[in-house]
Structures are given as structure tokens and as C-alpha cells.
Amino acid sequence: MGYGNGAAQFRRRSASAIASLALICSILGGCASVPPSIGLFENGNEVFYGNAAPVYDSEARLFVNAGRFYLRGSETGLECSGRTAIANVPAGKTCTGQKGKVTARCDDGRLLEATWLASSCNSGFGEGWDNNGTAFAYTFGIPESRAIDKIEHELGLHKQRPAWPRTDHAK
């Protein structure tokens, strides 16, 4: 019986330590983290941030299972959330080239459907449309400065977007 109680205390202490480390990292900004997922609609200037990466299994070295899709508009706070799922795993069983699908709903009633393609086990690109026919694209695991350029290129956006605060600097 004493072992079970000790294990429970260990789990509580571990969870507390992990939460403390996360808080310290966010305050000091000294811990490495994966860049947020970033998305844009073709007809707007708002940048959406969140987590839209599929679930990665480091032992299998593949994206696995369904994951959560969540992006929030930086200006309006519009939230789009749903699921991402695996649709295709390449014959070589590698992340690169793995494909998936996204279904999501936004707070304003929009429905999103998209497909994504992994460029590595850390990054990828997705694109699709809402139920009004508006194109939407997003990245995961790509630094903001490169992500927005890639999205604008893929969506064929040639208009000048207003400046936004960048979190990193591309070389």
C-alpha cells in the first residue's frame, strides 16, 4: 500500500514540476519551443495562431492518431477548432510526405475543410476552404516570418498586407 501512495505523490510532484518549468519558460522566454501553427484566410489580413499539428509519436517516428486543430485570430479573437486526422502514410513510413485532413468549425459559423502535407516530422503545410468558398491555409512547425510568406505564396495573394508584429527574424 505504501508504494501506491508514493507513486501518487510522485505523479503530483512531477506534474507540479512540469507546470512550474512551463511557467518559468514562458516568463523568461529561455526554453526552446515549437513555433505555433499560423493561418490566413485569402480575403482577410488577420493572422491566426494556435496548434494545428498532428500528433507525433517519437517511437514510431510518424504522425499518428487524430489531433486537435485550434487557431485563434490575433485581432478579433475568432476561434476555429476541430480535428486533424491521418489520411496517408508513405510506403517508407516516414513523416515526410505524410498527409492528413482537417475538419473544423469557427465561432462565426464557418466550417473549414483542409488537407495537410508534412514536410518533416516537425513541420508541414495545409490548405482548404470554408463553406463560403474562401481559401484558407496554415503551417505547423514553421517560424512566423517564413510561414506567412509561404501561405501568401501558396494562396496566390499578391496584395500588400499590413505589418504585423513578428516573433522571429528570418535571414
What would the pLDDT profile of 26-69 be if each residue is shown by its tens digit? 333 444 455 789 999 998 889 999 999 888 888 878 787 778 99
Please indicate, yes or no, whether residues 78 and 29 belong to a single structural domain of this protein: no
Residue 57: inside a domain: yes
Give the model's pLDDT for residue 165: 43
Neighbours of 163 (CB within 10 A): 6
Contact (CB, 8 A) for 137 and 149: no
In terms of domains, do 58 and 114 share one?
A: yes
Q: Are residues 42 and 19 in the same domain?
A: no
Per-residue pLDDT band for 169 (boundaries 50, 70, 90) equals very low
Do 10 and 79 share a domain, yes or no?
no
How many structural domains are present in the chain? 2
Mean pLDDT of 80-93: 88
Q: Exposed, middle or buried by CB within 10 Å (0-12, 13-18, 19+), for 129? A: middle
Same domain as 70, residue 10: no
Residues 13 and 46 in one domain: no
Question: What global pTM score does this model have?
Answer: 0.71
Domain range for residue 3?
A: 1-33
Q: Which among 153, 128, 145, 126 is positioned nearest to 53, based on CA atoms?
A: 126
In a domain, 98, yes or no: yes
Q: Are residues 103 and 134 in the same domain?
A: yes
> Measuring CA to CA, which residue among 131, 128, 130 is closest to residue 155?
128
Residue 106 lies in a domain: yes
